[in-house]
Structures are given as C-alpha cells and as structure tokens.
Amino acid sequence: MTRSHLSPGGSSQAPGRLPGVPPSGGDDRPAGDVKFRNFVTLTAQEIERGAQTLSGDELAPLSHLTGVSVPRSANPDGFRFDAQGHVIDGLLYARIYCGAMNGVSCGSTADDPIVADVVKAGWISFVGEGGEHTVKPGQMFIRDTKLSWEFSCSASFSTHVISVPRHLVVPRVSSVRVLDRAYVADAGMPEVTFLLKFIEMIDESVDNPGVSKSIRITLRDALAALISGIMSDCWGMESDTHASMTVAAARNVIERHLDSRDLSPRMVAQRIGVSLRTLHRSFSVSGESMMTFARRRRLQKAHDELVGTETLKDISALAARWHFSDSSHFIRHFKAYYGSTPGAYLRNRRIGDS
C-alpha cells in the first residue's frame, strides 16, 4: 500500500497539517499559497482485505469530498488516486487521475465551495437535490457543494477540478438563486475554453516565485469572476427563456456531430444535461424538431460539398456520408429545400453563371 500526502516543495506532510498552510522554512511562497500532490495506491489484495476508504488527510485539500470508497468489483487490478494542483488563498485547482470510486461532494463549512469539474477521460455521475447528471469527456459540471451530491466515477477517470470559496462567488452572481441548481457546459464553449486557458496562466504564476502575492490574488479573483459569469449567464437564459437556451445548447452539440452516425435526441440530451422530454419540448417551442434541424444542417453540408466541386458526385455516397437512408431519400429532401434535384440544381447554376 502506498499512501502519501505531499506538500509544497514535495516534502512529506505530517498527518493533521491544515490544508492550505505550508510548513515553516524552505518555501518562500506566501501563506495561503500552496502547491500540493496527493498520491494513493491500493493493490487488489488490499482492496479485497477491506482497505477501501480514503481518509480526509489523503484527500486534503479537496475538502468537499467525503465518504470516498473504492468498490472492489470496479477495480480488479488495484486502485490509484493522484491529485496535484494549487491552492491560492482558498481557491483550488487540481488535476486528478483515479480509479473507480464512490463518495459524496458536499461542503462542511459556512463557506462551502462552488466546484467545477472539466472531465478529460472516463465519466462521473452526480445525484443530488439539483438532479441527476452524467458528465463525459469534453463537458464541465458546476455545482454548489452546499447541496449534497452523491457521485461515482469510472475507472481511468481524469478531470480538472476548480473549487472556489463561496464568498468569492456570491457577490458576483446575478442572483443567489443561481446557486440552487447545477450547470453542464460544453468544454468547446468560448467561455469554458477561456477559463481553461486562464487556469494555465495561474499554473505558471504559482510556479514562478517572481510573481507577487497581489498578482496571484488578482488572478484568483478573476477566475472566481469567470465561474460566476458562466453560472449567471446560464441561469439568466434558463430563467427567462429556458427553451431557447436548451435549443441553443443542443444545436451546438448537433453542429459538432453532424458527421456522426450516433447523433440522436438521447445523445444530445445527455450531452447538455437535460431530460429527453425537456429537449423535445424545447424544440417544439422553436417550431422545428431536433432531427428536422439536424437533417436541414446535413442537407446544407451536402449542398456545400456538391457546389464546391461543381460536378455531380455519386449521390449514393453523398447521401450516406451525411446519413440519409438512401439516395432517393436525399434527393427528395434536397428538392423540397432547394427547389430541384441535385443534378438539375447544378445545371441551373451553370446556366446562371454563363
């Protein structure tokens, strides 16, 4: 069994040391500014013998994780937990890789953190007062840990975690009601992409002893503002025009998967974190079903491909590439949308050009 808890500078940290407080001597980082690494491994035999629970010391400073256990059936070859990152006056950023585990994500103080997970590999499922959510690679899940969330994650799970103290978020959100629910965002969204780039800047600043404490605090506050802004924007759109937000998020997913045979209402609903019923109801308000929108966009892609070459390609291959059931199905929809068959459409374009 290997259970180690590393503190700033990589030295062993004595059990019971307060998270976020560096040891005295040998580190010139200001108090409250900590680089940490926690590493735990368990063999299959150790798990079998009952070494299945991770202690608070092993998880610190990830204080929002409690009751973490290692299921034997999901870790037949042993278990590994590796978390490393930074704490800047209460704001935490960590990269985590671990085997399958279960537990609870909840706060334990009056300053319960707002936590965001950006999943890189595997999946993690949350069940709580704010609903049920399964978060997959390429998605970010933001939640208030004042609400209790039971979670379970897959083997070979990898995530980036951002934990922001409550007092840094509440003054920045548009309403305290923003904190009453969880948010699922696609990592391809510009706001999330910017957030991840910003974290890289924080990484570099903490590793650079020449960066002053005041600059690090400014970076911390800016990151808290970014998280608050993403939550406020999502809540504002949902509270005013819930259907419009759902449709916009769904269309973003559809655009990214137009060439995928797996594109379906169920897949889109899971990606954006809503029920299938909510997805269909939101599209009904827009006046166009989800699959009608997807077919129209695929038809436009096929049209652009056809016009780009200015030659009549193999219609069957074109129909198959954009997931129409057959060439006659494709031609029928093309004619309904563009007024003529693909062949006639190209001939009319040539005549018009000449």
**How far is it, in rounded angstroms, from Cα 8 to Cα 20?**
10
122 pLDDT more than 90: yes
Question: How large is the average pLDDT for residues 95-108?
Answer: 90
The pLDDT tens digits of the residues spanning 51-89 come to 688 888 888 888 888 889 999 889 999 999 999 988 888
Terminus-to-terminus CA distance in the chain, angstroms? Answer: 78
- Assess contact for 76 and 44: CB atoms under 8 A: yes
A 10 A CB-CB count for 293 gives 17
**Between 57 and 97, the higher pLDDT residue:** 97
Our CA dihedral for 220, 201, 108, 124, rounded to 10 degrees, sits at: 150
Residues with Cβ within 8 Å of residue 260, at least 6 apart in sequence = none
134 pLDDT more than 60: yes
A 10 A CB-CB count for 219 gives 20
The pLDDT tens digits of the residues spanning 164-199 come to 988 888 888 877 777 877 888 777 777 777 777 777
**Mean pLDDT comparison of 2-6, 163-167, 238-242, 285-289, highest-scoring range:** 163-167
Question: How large is the average pLDDT for residues 86-104?
Answer: 90
**Residue 255 exposure: Cα atoms within 13 Å on the Cβ side:** 9
Q: Which residues pair with 82 in a beta bridge?
A: 39, 97
Question: How large is the average pLDDT for residues 323-351?
Answer: 87
The whole-number pLDDT of residue 173 equals 83
210 pLDDT more than 70: no
**Between 117 and 241, the higher pLDDT residue:** 117
CA 247 from centroid of its chain's CA atoms: 19
**How far is it, in rounded angstroms, from Cα 244 to Cα 237?**
8
135 pLDDT more than 70: yes
Mean per-residue pLDDT of the chain = 79
- Assess contact for 278 and 246: CB atoms under 8 A: yes
**How far is it, in rounded angstroms, from Cα 298 to Cα 2?**
53
Sorting pLDDT into bands at 50, 70 and 90, what band is 30? Answer: very low
